[in-house]
Amino acid sequence: MKRISFPTRSLAWLWLPLAIGTATAPLLRADEAVLRSGDRIRLQIKGVPDEEKRDLDGDYTVSESGTIPLPYIDDPVAAGLKPSALAGSIEKAYREAQIYTNPTIVINFGDERVVRRVSLTGGVNRSGPVDYFDGMTLLEAVSAAGGLTDFAKQKEVKIIRGKETTVHDLEAIVKDSRRDIVLMPGDVVVVPENGRKL
């Protein structure tokens, strides 16, 4: 694969937000984020008698074990699935249990869904939280924060995840994107700056 070389560091970071934003923006659908424990979803069922819709329609919270409680079938696993995939698995479960012949399930995130974010501080142009999407990488997070400042120490970028801190070289990652780091919700990215302690 042909590598793109940049005449200066600052030009590279002007280009990066545009390239990443163009490549990923069409793929980011909030309603198709992967479900996790604690997420609140709204379920509607169609193709069943109205009196039974009342037993199923409503808001559900994904439990710590990753399931949601539904009547007549074993609690389906929701964590790790997108809403559309979960809907398909529930439809299949009801058909296989011969409870409903042709149910249609519609699942959306509930109004109380917790917004997932990562935070960036230090040598980025816009410090603070940015919205997280599944699979977000370190470069994508830096891009979402407006790129690096001229004083950023690119070789000493820290990712704080709970009690664990790791250090990464952004210059090396830009040269070889296979070295990019996938972030998790709640991560804090610290970009040290020359002449400033963080």
Residues 181 and 124 in one domain: yes
Question: d(Cα 174, Cα 147) in Å, to the nearest integer?
Answer: 12
Token couple for 110: 């509930």
Model's pTM, two decimal places? 0.49
Give 123-168 pLDDT, tens digit per residue. Answer: 999 999 998 887 899 999 999 999 999 999 999 999 998 889 999 9
Q: Determine, yes or no, domain membership for 186.
A: yes
Question: d(Cα 112, Cα 36) in Å, to the nearest integer?
Answer: 14
Give 93-120 pLDDT, tens digit per residue. Answer: 999 999 999 999 999 876 544 567 899 9
Domain range for 155 is: 116-191
Q: CATH number of the domain that 151 lies in?
A: 3.10.560.10
The number of folded domains in the chain is: 2
Domain closes at, from 94, 109, 124: 109
Q: Determine, yes or no, domain membership for 140.
A: yes
Closest C-alpha among 137, 132, 130, 142 to residue 33: 132
Residues 84 and 41 in one domain: yes
